[in-house]
Amino acid sequence: MNTTSSARCITLDFSGRFLPAVYIIVFITGMAANVWGLKSLLQNWKKLGIINVFVLNLGLTDMLYLLTLPFLVVYYFLQSKWLFGDVFCKITRFCFNMNLYGSIGFLTCISVYRYLAIVHPMRVMGRITVTHSVALSILVWLLVSVQSLPDMFFIKTYRNRTGKCYDTTSSPYIEDYLKYSLGWTFTGFFIPFLITLGCYGHVMVILCRKNNIDKVLKRRSLRLLFILIVLFSVCYIPYHVLKSLNLWVRVLYKARVCHGWFNGVYIAHQISRGLVCLNSALNPLIYLHGSEDVPAQIRQLLQRARRAWRAVLRRSIAPNQVPLV
């Protein structure tokens, strides 16, 4: 055990250099992808079936969080100086939690519905309606709100001293927050993760054993499975592991314990914070599993973008050409 100053133990300026760029990229790509995805969803509402209710709610959670990113960009550009008040700081962090755990909840619902459609098609045929999907969506919103509400009662700003807007809480309350966070991780992430893993593990067994399953259904299921693997592996798992580890490091540091690996944990946690917000830009990929027209639409958009870019280049080059005499 050794004691050192915080400047020597943990380099706190990494988040200010890393997170603003990530937030700007996520805001631009996430807004564009979600607006396009929601538009596509509404145009194909009847075609996509009962799962579209969960996909719609997934898009709403993304938009809720994306609208707060410009304020966080300003915060980190000003070297962690929060200018928007304690209430809005808590609202911003609440929106992040609603997006994160709402996304996990709706992805879990989609996985369960896909499991029932493939493994027990005869039992659920005609028994699951849009009304059930709406009721389940309301339940997800309520559960996530109840889980997120205690976070609002933790101190988020020390305006007179540091001007920070903590994503967790300040040091005096860090032990209590660690306990709350571990419980929240178990109920809000670990249990849904096990349900999703169990559903798609069984689905993969069925898809491998049976040859009479519709090819389109197989393709959509495999596509959704790949998207879920990316989301959990890149966004959700690293964040929850490193968040808990970082909170434990802060508890140790409060007790005047400092080790060389503390800084590595802090940097890894900041990277995981950047990765977890990518879910708002990656979630629109869920639209791919519901519509066979989406890949064709993406190709058309890319072709239009290339044509527009070539036209801009031609216009910019033409004035600089010397006329022949």
pLDDT at residue 10 tops 70: no
pLDDT at 50: 78
Query: How many alpha carbons fall within 13 Å on the CB side of residue 264?
Result: 3
Share of the chain above pLDDT 70, in %: 80
Confidence tier at 305 by pLDDT (50, 70, 90):
low
pTM for this one? 0.84
Cβ neighbours of residue 228 closer than 8 Å, sequence gap 6 or more: 107, 111, 196, 200
pLDDT for the residue numbered 201: 86
Q: What does the pLDDT read at residue 159?
A: 57
Q: What percent of the chain has pLDDT over 90?
A: 43
- Tell me: pLDDT of 322 over 60: no
pLDDT of residue 127: 78
CA-nearest of 170, 32, 156 to 95 is 156
Q: What angle do CA 169, 173, 177 make, to 5 degrees?
A: 65
Average pLDDT score over residue span 281-303: 65
Q: Which comes out higher in pLDDT, residue 204 or 99?
A: 99
Residue 64: which residues within 8 A CB-CB, separation 6 or more? Answer: 95, 98, 99
295 has pLDDT over 60: no
Residue with tokens 């990277």: 271
User: Nearest 5°: phi and psi at 157?
Assistant: -130, 145
Angle (nearest 5°) at CA 72 between 104 and 276: 25
pLDDT bin (cut points 50, 70, 90) of residue 325 is: very low
Per-residue exposure over 282-321, b if at least 16 CB sit within 10 Å of its own CB, e if not: bbbbbbbbbbeebeeeeeeeeeeeeeeeeeeeeeeeeeee
Place of tokens 């564009």: 32
Give the span between the Cα atoms of 276 and 290, in whole angstroms: 24
Question: Mind listing the domains of the chain with CATH numbers?
Answer: 8-291 (1.20.1070.10)
Helix (H, G, I), strand (E, B) or coil at 256: coil
Q: State the average pLDDT over residues 152-159.
A: 83
pLDDT at 301: 54
* Nearest in space to 214 (alpha carbons), one of 106, 114, 130: 114
Q: Span 279-294, mean pLDDT? A: 72
Using DSSP's 3-state secondary structure scheme, residue 125 falls into: coil
The answer to which of 245-249, 267-271, 282-286 has the lowest mean pLDDT is 282-286
What is residue 174's predicted lDDT score, i.e. its pLDDT?
93
**pLDDT at 223 (0 to 100):** 77
Average pLDDT, rounded, for the chain? 82
pLDDT score for 33: 87
Smallest CA-to-CA distance from 295 within 285, 280, 309 is with 285
Residue range 49-94, pLDDT digits in tens: 678 889 889 999 999 999 999 999 999 988 888 988 889 999 999 9
